[in-house]
Amino acid sequence: MTTIYARELEIAQLAVQRAAILTKRVFREKAKGTVSKDDASPVTIGDFGAQALIISALRHNFPHDDIVAEEEASALREDAKLRGMIWGLVRETKLEDVAAEGLLGRGVRDEADLLDVLDRGKSAGGRVGRVWTIDPIDGTKGFLRGGQYAIALGLLEDGDVKVGVLGCPNLPVDDEAPLDVGIGENQTDEEGRGVIFSAVVGEGAWSRPLGTGALQEGKKIRMKDIADMANASFCESVEAGHSNQSEAAQIAQKLGITKPSVRMDSQAKYGSIARGAGDIYLRLPTSKTYQEKIWDHAAGDLIVREAGGQVTDTKGQRLDFGAGRTLASNSGVIAAPAGVHSQVLKAVQDVLGL
């Protein structure tokens, strides 16, 4: 059992579980209320609703902690209809277990509070103190197309990830299931799907079914050792704009990997390799200027490392979560079992000319 971060781990998992009730409802009801952000990426009522629910749980339990969250309220201040839809969903979403719901506090009070709660995620992050990172829906494009998505929550202390939680509603519960890329846009059959991955620094990583009430029992997960690269499987983004897929194919060939890549949205990739469903996750920069966001990696980084993996950027440096809201000092991500990471890194650097 966990020791010093037990309460953080419990609250984080319950908050993620409650947020997933909301995102699954939004997916089922097909009224996703998509709006575009400045960078042309989509955000849905699911993203806003999940973020509000998670922040309200953190505000209640850890009122002094900072929060770095992906979304903010400005689009809702100008759009009363969208705001009303989100408020309705947030108000109605509760865990089925009264005691578990009680642990998350009284929730969001009204529409004005909804905006305040969403904007509590604007911390600059950094190297000092406790900072939660929230990606309410990681892989929004995957969410929209019925691919994989993750609700991601991490706790940083002085710039290091101490607790990581990933709720993956569309992944198989079964840790032995093969890599799975989702359910499809018109599917509603969620039978056998929904998993929460979690990790605490120094204590390991777990998976458990993503439920709708109290937390279910967890199991320790470990990465698979790669005996033969020919049989290794690697995952990458579905979106070619998020990771360079042609360079990844060259790297795979150099390593002697024979299987084609598995393209999967979101941090479900980190969870999938952490439980041994896949082996390697490559994220290769597509531009010199894009900086990876800390909420896209904090939970996944810890879960993979606690399951026996190593996570670095393409330069071989650990991901630096203390640099602010972005991984400003890193470039790309290479996640692999510790025993082969240096071999994978070398192949990456050969192909990228580093």
Q: Which residues would be at the binding site for ligand A3P (CB under 6 A)? A: 41, 70, 135, 137-140, 142, 237, 239, 241-242, 265-266, 286-287, 290, 293, 296
Contact partner, 239, from ligand A3P, Mg ion, none, Cβ < 5-8 Å per class: ligand A3P
Spell out, one character per residue from 69 to 108, where the chain touches Mg ion: x when CB under 5 A holds, - when not.
-x--------------------------------------
Helix H or strand E segment including 227: none
Q: Which is nearer to ligand A3P, 120 or 269 (CB)?
A: 269
180 annotated ligand binder: no
Q: Which two tokens stand for residue 339?
A: 């025993």
Q: Which residue's CB comes closest to Mg ion?
A: 138
Q: Which residues contact 264 (CB under 8 A, 6 or more apart)?
A: 142, 147, 148, 179, 180, 181, 182, 235, 236, 237, 238, 272
Contact partner, 33, from Mg ion, ligand A3P, none, Cβ < 5-8 Å per class: none
- Active site annotation includes 140: yes
Q: How far is the CB of 32 from ligand A3P (least distance, A)?
A: 13
Q: Which is nearer to ligand A3P, 133 or 237 (CB)?
A: 237
* Angle of CA points 329, 335, 336, to nearest 5°: 145
70 annotated ligand binder: yes
Q: Enumerate helices (H) and strands (E) in the chain, giving the number of each.
A: 11, 14
Interface of this chain with Mg ion, residues 113 to 142, rule: CB under 5 A: 135, 137-138
Q: Which two tokens stand for residue 193?
A: 């799907």
Dist. CA 219–CA 197, nearest whole Å: 10
Which is it for the CA torsion 124, 129, 130, 133, positive or negative?
A: positive
Q: Which is nearer to ligand A3P, 141 or 275 (CB)?
A: 141
11 annotated ligand binder: no
Q: Which two tokens stand for residue 69?
A: 């969250």
The active-site residue, picked from 140, 312, 314, 326, is 140
Q: Which residue's CB comes closest to ligand A3P?
A: 237
The reply on whether position 253 binds Mg ion by CB under 5 A is: no
The reply on whether position 296 binds Mg ion by CB under 5 A is: yes
Q: Which is nearer to Mg ion, 175 or 292 (CB)?
A: 292
**One-letter amino acid of 114:** L
Contact partner, 286, from Mg ion, ligand A3P, none, Cβ < 5-8 Å per class: ligand A3P
- Active site annotation includes 225: no
138 annotated ligand binder: yes
Q: Which is nearer to ligand A3P, 17 or 237 (CB)?
A: 237
CB–CB of 250/236 below 8 Å? no
**Region of residue 105 (phi > 0: left; psi between -120 and 50: alpha; otherwise: beta):** left
Dist. CA 139–CA 145, nearest whole Å: 10
Q: Which residues contact 291 (CB under 8 A, 6 or more apart)?
A: 326, 327, 328
Can you give the binding site for Mg ion, defined by CB under 5 A? 41, 70, 135, 137-138, 296
Residue positions annotated with a catalytic role: 47, 140
